[in-house]
């Protein structure tokens, strides 16, 4: 999309029909579930337009009802029965832009794990439980305060030369290349609440921060971005994640 997509607001629908770009079985390429077989459900539209975004989430005309969508997800799960895949990745675009409460509720009821990939600006009252994992990749200066307590991991896209010396996180705009902007960080008060929730569950007590190099479709720039991520991870204790699906040529 490279920042050319229309900015679409959050919809107020009942969630019984969703605009879906694609559904496919693959290996999760990045973040906490890297390497795990999963079914990706890419939802249409985004409320942001990042200049570096290389994902197509606008070209589909498919608007299945929830039964059709669940059938499609089950078909993908059945395509590799021995893998016994239990992970569904809801991504986009911005998956929280549409009402995904009925979909997530159905997936949880089926005993599946849901990983939500979000830019952190929107919220929905999902049936929060240990089967739902939120990976937030902030792209703006603020995050939705209702969502923050449910974030399990933050994933920052780093570009060399646009990294704050103090905390190793991005200080460049996602809307316009080269313009400074303080991208939202995990807040200490929200982290305390988050940690209290995690301590009541069996999950680790501290949300992880991942850093991932920006893909600029340019070998020299990508090398510099990767080196910057290595330096930041070593200095600040963040976890390095690469877009392994691109490195491996996996969808």
Binding region for ligand SF4 (CB under 6 A): 1, 46, 48-50, 53, 55, 92-94, 119, 139
228 SS3 class: helix
CB of 205 to ligand SF4, least distance (A): 28
What's the min distance (Å) between Cβ of 174 and ligand SF4? 6
Compute the C-alpha angle 80/84/86, nearest 5°: 115
- Name which of 48 and 160 has its Cβ closer to ligand SF4: 48
CB of 46 to ligand SF4, least distance (A): 3
In the complex with ligand SF4, the residue whose CB is nearer, 94 or 152, is 94
Which helix (H) or strand (E) segment is 235 a member of?
helix 219-236
Provide, rounded to whole angstroms, the least separation between the CB of residue 77 and ligand SF4: 25
239-240 and 113-118 beta bridge pairing: unpaired
Q: Which tokens is 170 given?
A: 């991005």
What's the closest the beta carbon of residue 55 comes to ligand SF4, in angstroms?
A: 6
CB of 137 to ligand SF4, least distance (A): 7
Which residue's CB is nearer to ligand SF4, number 85 or number 158? 158
Residue nearer to ligand SF4 on the CB measure, 85 or 97: 97
Q: Is 140 helix (H, G, I), strand (E, B) or coil?
A: coil
Nearer to ligand SF4 by Cβ, of 58 and 68: the residue is: 58
Distance CA 5, CA 203 (A): 37
Q: What are phi and psi of 43, to 5 degrees?
A: -90, 155
Give the chain's end-to-end CA distance (angstroms, integer): 17
Cα–Cα dist 117/137, whole Å? 7
Nearer residue to ligand SF4 within complex by CB, 182 or 197:
182
Residue 147: its H or E element: none
State how far the Cα of 198 lies from the Cα of 202, in Å rounded to an integer: 7
Contacts of 118 (CB under 8 A, 6+ apart): 94, 95, 96, 134, 135, 136, 137, 147
């Amino acid at each position: 999309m490279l920042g050319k997509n229309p900015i679409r607001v959050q919809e107020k629908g009942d969630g019984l029909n969703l605009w879906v770009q694609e559904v496919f079985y693959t290996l999760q390429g990045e973040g906490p579930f890297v390497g795990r077989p999963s079914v990706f459900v890419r939802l249409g539209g985004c409320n942001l337009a990042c200049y570096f975004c290389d994902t197509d989430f606008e070209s589909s005309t498919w608007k299945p009802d929830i039964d059709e969508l669940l059938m499609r997800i089950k078909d993908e799960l059945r395509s590799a029965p021995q893998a016994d895949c239990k992970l569904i990745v809801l991504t986009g675009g911005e998956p929280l832009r549409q009402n995904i409460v009925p979909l997530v509720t159905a997936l949880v009821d089926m005993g599946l794990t849901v990983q939500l990939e979000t830019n952190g600006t929107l919220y929905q009252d999902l049936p929060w439980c240990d089967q739902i994992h939120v990976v937030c990749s902030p792209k703006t200066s603020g995050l939705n305060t209702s969502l923050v307590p449910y974030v399990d991991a933050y994933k920052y896209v780093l570009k060399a030369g646009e990294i704050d010396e103090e905390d190793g996180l991005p200080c460049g705009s996602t809307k316009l290349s080269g313009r400074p902007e303080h991208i939202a960080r995990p807040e200490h008060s929200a982290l305390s609440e988050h940690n209290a929730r995690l301590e009541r569950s069996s999950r680790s007590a501290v949300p992880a921060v991942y850093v991932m190099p920006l893909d600029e479709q340019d070998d020299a720039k990508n090398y510099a971005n990767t080196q910057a991520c290595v330096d930041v991870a070593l200095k600040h204790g963040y976890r390095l994640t690469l877009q392994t699906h691109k490195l491996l040529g996996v969808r």
